Chain A
């Protein structure tokens, strides 16, 4: 069992500070102020908690002469550190293998899991708690939830956490049956039939609010049935000094998904869950979608004297989702290896115990259409959101959703890899090293085109790019006596470079703040150059394209944007140390990253006091420039980059200081973090026998204990868009990871 809490929380203003800053701002703007009051709410404190988790699992494996089996059961209950949100999963697995005769065997693997995810609102609750004004109360005087009247369709995060429902219940059964025949001792035929059945049910409900009479709900039931057939023929034969082995195989996978989505609104009471009792309800979607994939592959490996190795693989994939004319795509790869330590000049070496050099070349590619109809123009019935379709005069309409794109060429990738595996000093140091180089030609990406052509962006072969880098792993047994100390170090570095661009720089400004530039790594942050705050005037200083420094916003000319490097770190890796003494073990794992960048959108949002929403702000805002000579990085509240216009009787404000398109919020996110620290004790021999247990271990573990970083956000490891490579390096009010403490017992029977 364990306990967890957020790593850290953004440092936001308390009610007094909030009033002070906004009154100062509104006073300078138009002599206004906030309505007086003394409400004070710490929203982050209200929505977070110390969360508890339990994890129980049991595994039994056993076997007889002809059969082996393995059974495991597990249950995980995990609370989120956001109140009212939790997650539970139970699963069971059974593996069984039976050897009927020497040449025939068969078996089955079955697993079932039940998931109840009730933590889907956590991210949105977190975000609204960070931004919510601390002078808003949780409840009105009559005890009902309070809504902020300035905001359109406001939701109270406490109500969302406690009352609203957003759950996903999954039931999944994966099973397969396989049989193996060995017609000859060197040949094995294996056939396998697998099913994967997933049934999931999601229900989300917004309870009634002052702007949402009776609340609204949506329920989506999905059932997905997948069937897989795999056949492989494996042969291995030694003829004198030559060893040959090969596999020929094929697989066929087909999937059918049935999705029904219904929604309803205006329930008679918040206690009524069923959509059938909503006053208005409808079917949004009832769709069956199917796809199938067929692949076949052949692999041959050859070895001579255990010293020289060569291999070739060819794989052919066909998919129902591909254009019929290029439905099958096949690519080869080749590899060579040399075990140098078997050669005469090394075989007796005291230092080098094992050394293998290897290299490979592979080819892949994609036609980029990703669709059944290739690059032809496609018309679609358009979903209007909520599964309904657009209509004109009561009829469905076709929209041209994908342009005819006849010039699109295949994107081709060549990959080279060389490396070595070595064991030295009596096998006490093991080293694995890989260097790779990958060149992508005619890389396909979506680029902007002039909108008068009817589309704003289109897939194009935008250029060539290369990725290269290395991965190094060193494992060392530093002390190997009764006291054992081992170290494992991983290092990796990846550099990429845009070699050639078919399109102009300006056409590829991906999302307004990143860009591809020939000769540089991609994607480059593409931002206006913020140079701090003038201590004399309190205005922001910007650097223009021509290098001149100005105190007015450079935003009217996008030529003033500059490339600020990519988010990729120079080098990253991990270091594990294990100390072992008489059953006691201390293990630590550090992760680190050096030279990467992050656009701190959380801070940018918390530095924006201009919107009518009057969001809460970062405590750094308190350092705003006050008086001539004041050295600070926060400009005065109304400064040269905040345009105030008199419109009618009031003021209209345009702010250029808090956007994500300036380098103000671009930060180095290098870090060193103690990811896990574990202390354990394994009870030894004689005691175990007495209690008839094979293994007994008690442990205490802590995760994310400390981090050393200059990054000013809460967590330098977050990525707002997940693992999407083009969109790395964004922190947009992304939930920080947890710091957790766990206690546990492992028992092996």
Chain B
């Protein structure tokens, strides 16, 4: 009888032994930071996540961070009852959606870029060239994200006020919170300096091209970094640097003006979404195929709001950009852009094109006075749009550099309509937005009021909203 007693005790001991290994069930689909950055393959997926998050930051899920560049100008025509009229009138409440969406998402991108920059040198076990590429891409993405925050929130950043309040420069990854270390908003000058420093590093680290042409546009390259630097120097009005940066892209010869029909293909084209030499950097969605579920842009406005019919008249007859830009919605008095027309919303989000590089250079040269090179560069862009003869400019058409600059700005408007650019061009050249009554300190958004509250005033609200 005593022996029976031993059986259950043994049984208990044995099961305890065997159960511990049964508890080693790691969750699928999840990895910890140390593991992600150990191997090139998983680090690549995290990098793809950064680019994808930029689509979100630019306003997928009906956000406006990208399209505010058009809807606050006379390119788009918002119905007066539209709830986004607040951005047009500048009567923006502190808790508006756009501020929150842009701020939260761009900083979320910046945090992961910071992780790459901090961890890859220490943890990664893959080859040096891939490591360099990853750090270069992370710096490029961080620079682009700070540029977007500067465009939206930096008070006076586009009009030369280098002491105006911009955004806090957070350059380390999240690693616990110390509430005594809240960073106040840095000045526009500091943020510009950080962006330029990151891009200068990126230029060194980034490759000329990636494994396929499609990826060379979908991911950052040397040319993309130069082109972005050119845009930034244009905003900073450092024109000689604009010329040297644009020359880097032009001289490298990787890009050219291609047929417009290839830049913005018709829906149904079997090559729809394929990049051409015109594209320098775009956020790529078409390669996902399938239905909406694999990620889509859903940028607010372009597929829901009408293009201003008055603006359409600014195109000359025969300007093929009008045909590529605009279509009339069947059965309705609505005009929409073909740049965002794919039914599953897989249009790539264009960020940098070769024509911008040319027009940036034209503008930088024109600052020194009327010159033939600038006129030629505008004409290159116009000729590609199918214009010729009378519709091309002659140097004699311009009696002052102001006239020439106006022509360049108008060309930018026609060329980049519905690419989220016009608002910032208007602000940096002291021209008014659609609503001329917006006070100058409301040409930026309020920072999310929750940031002011949570940091207990370390972050201060933009003065126009106090």
Chain A positions within 8 Å of B, measured between CB atoms, are 181, 183-184, 187, 189, 191, 229, 231, 233, 248, 250, 252, 254, 280, 282, 284, 287, 289-294, 296, 318-320, 324, 327, 371-373, 376-382, 384-386, 388-400, 403-407, 448-456, 458, 460, 503-504, 506-507, 509, 556, 558, 612, 645, 647-650, 652, 654
Contacts and interface: CB of A to CB of B under 8 A. Distances in A.
Given A250-B16, A390-B49, A392-B51, 18 more contacts: A183-B5, A187-B5, A233-B8, A233-B9, A248-B12, A252-B19, A294-B22, A395-B48, A397-B52, A404-B33, A449-B177, A451-B448, A453-B177, A454-B111, A455-B108, A504-B179, A504-B454, A654-B93
Which of A229, A233, A404 gathers the greatest number of chain B CB atoms within 10 Å? A404
Contacts of A382: 49
Interface string B308-341: 0000000000000000000000000000000000
A408 B325 CA distance: 53
Given A296-B16, A454-B111, A507-B454, A407 B176 contact: yes
A393 to B, nearest CB: 5
Contact of B32 (A187, A373, A456, A504): A373
A181 B218 contact: no
Contact of A320 (B24, B53, B100, B288): B24
Contact of A647 (B8, B85, B94, B290): B85
B36 A379 contact: yes
Interface string B80-120: 11010110110101100000100110011011101100000
Contacts of B168: 452
Contacts of A296: 16
A215 to B, nearest CB: 16
B30 A380 contact: yes
18 contacts: A181-B4, A191-B8, A233-B8, A254-B22, A327-B23, A373-B32, A379-B30, A379-B33, A380-B31, A394-B287, A398-B46, A407-B177, A451-B107, A452-B107, A452-B167, A454-B111, A504-B454, A654-B93
A380 B29 contact: yes
B45 interface: yes
Contact of A292 (B25, B26, B42): B25
A506 B454 contact: yes
Contact of A451 (B26, B31, B450): B450
B23 A294 contact: yes
A451 B34 contact: no
B303 interface: no
B179 A231 contact: no
A612 B82 CA distance: 10
Given A296-B16, A381-B29, A394-B287, A318 B23 contact: yes
Contacts of B182: 450
Contacts of A229: 15
Contact of B81 (A292, A652, A654): A652
Contacts of A191: 8, 11
Contacts of B271: none
Nearest to B170: A452
A450 B91 contact: no
B167 A650 contact: no
Interface string B167-192: 11010011111010011000000000
A200 to B, nearest CB: 21
Contacts of B103: 451-452
Nearest to B455: A450
Which of A292, A400, A448 gathers the greatest number of chain B CB atoms within 10 Å? A400
A294 B25 CA distance: 13
Main secondary structure on chain B at its contact with chain A? helix
Given A384-B293, A451-B103, A453-B107, A233 B12 contact: yes
B174 A454 contact: yes
B40 to A, nearest CB: 13
B128 interface: no
A556 B94 contact: yes
B170 A397 contact: no
Contacts of A645: 89, 91
Nearest to B110: A454
Nearest to A263: B293
B146 to A, nearest CB: 11
B289 interface: yes
A319 B104 contact: no
B1 A503 contact: no
Contacts of A453: 107, 111, 170, 174, 177
B88 to A, nearest CB: 8
Nearest to A649: B80
B390 interface: no
A400 B80 CA distance: 39
B126 interface: no
Contacts of A320: 22-25
Given A292-B25, A296-B16, A453-B174, A393 B284 contact: yes
B165 to A, nearest CB: 13
Interface string B60-91: 00000000000000000000110101101101
B215 interface: yes
Contacts of A282: 290-291, 293
A388 to B, nearest CB: 4
B459 A377 contact: no
A284 B293 CA distance: 9
A404 B175 contact: yes
A376 B85 contact: no
B451 A450 contact: yes
Given A252-B15, A380-B30, A398-B48, A404 B8 contact: no
B449 interface: yes
B258 interface: no
A419 to B, nearest CB: 34
Given A379-B33, A455-B174, A391 B450 contact: no
Contacts of A252: 15, 19, 22
Contact of A289 (B28, B44, B170): B28
B273 to A, nearest CB: 11
Contact of B48 (A292, A380, A393): A393
A599 B287 CA distance: 48
Given A394-B288, A397-B48, A403 B23 contact: no
Given A400-B112, A404-B175, A453-B174, A376 B27 contact: no
Contacts of A503: 179
B170 A231 contact: no
A389 B48 CA distance: 13
A583 to B, nearest CB: 51
A506 B449 CA distance: 11
Interface in B260-307: 284, 287-291, 293-295
A723 to B, nearest CB: 27
B397 interface: no
A474 to B, nearest CB: 44
A388 B23 contact: no
B200 interface: no
B71 to A, nearest CB: 13
Given A393-B214, A652-B85, A454 B284 contact: no
A384 B295 contact: yes
B33 to A, nearest CB: 4
Contacts of A293: 23
B456 interface: yes
Nearest to B182: A450
A392 B284 contact: yes
Contacts of A407: 176-177
Q: In the A-B complex, list the 9 residue pairs whose CB atoms are closest, starting with the nearest.
A: A454-B111, A648-B80, A388-B293, A397-B49, A377-B33, A392-B48, A650-B80, A320-B25, A183-B4
A399 B174 contact: no
B183 A452 contact: yes
B20 interface: yes
B245 to A, nearest CB: 27
Contacts of A250: 12, 15-16
Contacts of B51: 392-393, 397
